[in-house]
Every structure is written in C-alpha cells, then in structure tokens.
Structure 1
C-alpha cells in the first residue's frame, strides 16, 4: 500500500519524486485504469527534457532503463497520455446495434479515428476504456527503431529490471487506488498507437 500525500505525490523508498507541472492538465477525481507506455526516447533525461515544454504530453510515472521509478505528475492531476481512443464495445463485440452500425461505418476509414475517440470520451466508464480523465499513465524508457520490411517502427524490448519495477508499481497502485487488474492496458490496446509499444511489458 502506497502513502499518497495531499499533493498527490507518493512517499515510497523506491519512487523518486520528479514532478513536472507542465504535463498536469486538471483534477483527476477517480482512477479507473492504468495505461502502460514506452517513451520512444533513449534515456529518462531526454523524456524529462520534453516534459519541460508547457505543451508537453506525459504520464504520471517513468521507469528508467536501470529500473528506477520516477513520479512525474501528481496522482490528483490528469495527464494527456492516452491519445485517440478505440471503441471498447466494438473491440469487445458488445455494441448495441445502433452503435455498432455507426462505429463499423467509421472504422472503414482510419481518418475517422478522432470521431471514434470523441464518441468514446463522451461515454462513461466502463462503457469506454479508461481515458486521460480517469487513468494513470506509466512510461517505460525505450526506443522504437526502423526494421527492414516493417512499415512501422518496432519498440525495443522492455528489460528485466524495468519489468520487475513495473510489476511492483502496478501491484502497489492497484491496491492503493482500488483499480481492477482487468483495467490495466498496453497503450495500443486502447488507443491508435504503434502496435509494438509496451508489447514486452509484463506485470
């Protein structure tokens, strides 16, 4: 169980506080899920440099190559880390008929991804996936590289010490915040992202 202070910062020996208010976007009243990302940057410091921009996107935690864990945003604050959301009912084959017709039509063209995302954001959890407004983001330092024969870049593997840190952090967060283990996702599972992002993350 984690101790979270009045500012939403975790007091734990394994977590280094390195808060960037530039990535905080509003009050986070309820946490319904956790989303695991990779940074597409080579080091923690390069990610921190990007967080210093007032228009930056970011997540609540970052796991370094050596397994070090940084808290980069308050757990009382929203961060923009999810991006364009996918339709939960469509992926889980649970849409009502009218919604299925709309989403099926929109899914025919990738340019409609924002329209789908906007529809999802208007829904309440758990009809939709966890969104920026009700989820915690965890970034893992890792690059995406060009690979011959692949149209998308491929993310490097999450290493063993990073996965051990991720496992510990998710265990503590789910217990402390009462988040269901079924509501933990790799970024591309719920949003329009590179399919290999966090594909080797384990918790």
Structure 2
C-alpha cells in the first residue's frame, strides 16, 4: 500500500494527524531508511508524550499511536531521531557470530561501536536508518513487588525500567500499527523482516511492545 509523502517525509492521509515536533529531529538522514522499530512510551497518555516532545533537545520517534488507534506523525520520516539506543549484535541472533567474537565483558557502548562499523544490511537498523513508532503504554511493577538490597535505594523509574511489565497494546493500536507498517513498507520499500520490537535491537525492558502485532489484515486505503 502506498501513501503520499511530501518532500520532508510527512504522510498525507486521513488516518495520520500531523503533530510534528522539530525538537526531536536530529538532521536529515545520510542514507536510506531500511527498518522500523516499535516502542512503547512508558506513559499513560498520548498528551504526556506529545508535550514532552516539545521540550528542547527532546527524544522521540516518528509516530505515536494512541490507545484509541489515533496515529500522530511527530517527526518527518527523512529526519533522524534518537529512539533506538545502543545496538545489540544482530549476528548473534542469527547465529552468524559467537560471543567469543566480541571482547570479554563487552559493554553496550563498545558493542554498538562494533556494530556501527558494519554495513546497514549486516546489523540492526540504527537511528540513522530506522523509523520509530511509539505505542502509548506504561510499564507497571507486578502486584506486591518489593525491591531488595541496593535496589531498594533506586528511583521508582529505574526499578520500573528493570522489573516493570508493559501493558498489552489495545486492539485499536495493533490495527493502526498494522496499517502504518504496511504503508511505510510499501512507500519506503522496507523489507517485511526489517520491523523489530525495541528490545530486540537495543538493551531495553524485554516486555516493551511484547504484545505489538503489525501483521493484521487492514482495510485499504
């Protein structure tokens, strides 16, 4: 499915509301857009995320999907935004390399540096190549959870970052996600196997976007 894009990469379609925040844009991409990364906001409402994107030097993704399925385009597609973070080694996931191929106790920063030396086709998409899609949804601690030891001194946000469980996206979110991914793949020539949940490509909470489904059949256009 194709959608109309202007010279900046803003979608012209009734299903997409423009809410562009230049504060989250980090300059024009130097190369092709090759992948899509699906996130969750760790916030309860779309308003809180949209407001945060207006702050100076804010970080954010290109699209935000509310719980009712409303799609907001928050950055131009041809602009890079900071939404991925340090890359995991894709070669480990597809068994084309082994842990011993990396330095002992390799840090996240060092693994990212090694991965970024590779061609885009040989690694996960980074901020330079990936379109980011955020689904409104928060991570909550399991009932009765209690931090122990040193972790008891951590901030609530840090504890939730490690032990929180993200809520399941709504049916409306997954329908809109499927429509948007299909539109981006067709219009940007992105391969079907180049769409990933955030924790697959970077070191994030493993439950983030675990219920995201971008393979549903959707009405066209």
Per the TM superposition, whether the score is higher than 0.5 is: yes
Structure 1: unaligned runs, 5 residues or longer: none
Asked if 1:165 is matched to 2:166, the reply is no
Q: How many residues align?
A: 196
1:49 offset after TM fit, Å?
Answer: 1.4
1:26-54, Cα deviation, whole Å (9 max, x unpaired): 11231100000000001111001111122
1:123 offset after TM fit, Å?
Answer: 1.7
Larger radius of gyration: 2
Q: Counterpart in 2 of 1:125?
A: 120
1:75 offset after TM fit, Å?
Answer: 0.8
1:46-102, Cα deviation, whole Å (9 max, x unpaired): 00111112221110000001100000000110010101110111222102x7xx534
Partner Cα separation in structure 2 for residue 127 and residue 76 of structure 1: 22
Alignment of 1:92-107 (within 5 A): 92-95=94-97, 100-103=99-102, 105-107=104-106
Q: Secondary structure at the match of 2:84?
A: coil
Q: Counterpart in 2 of 1:51?
A: 53
Structure 2: unaligned runs, 5 residues or longer: 147-161, 215-221
The answer (yes or no) to whether the contact 1:16–1:71 under 8 Å persists in 2 is yes
Alignment of 1:58-137 (within 5 A): 58-95=60-97, 100-103=99-102, 105-107=104-106, 112-137=107-132
* TM-score, length-scaled by structure 2: 0.85
Partner Cα separation in structure 1 for residue 186 and residue 8 of structure 2: 19
1:149 offset after TM fit, Å?
Answer: 5.1
Q: Secondary structure at the match of 1:105?
A: coil
* More off after superposition, 145-154 vs 160-169: 145-154
Q: Secondary structure at the match of 1:78?
A: strand
CA RMSD of aligned residues (A): 1.5
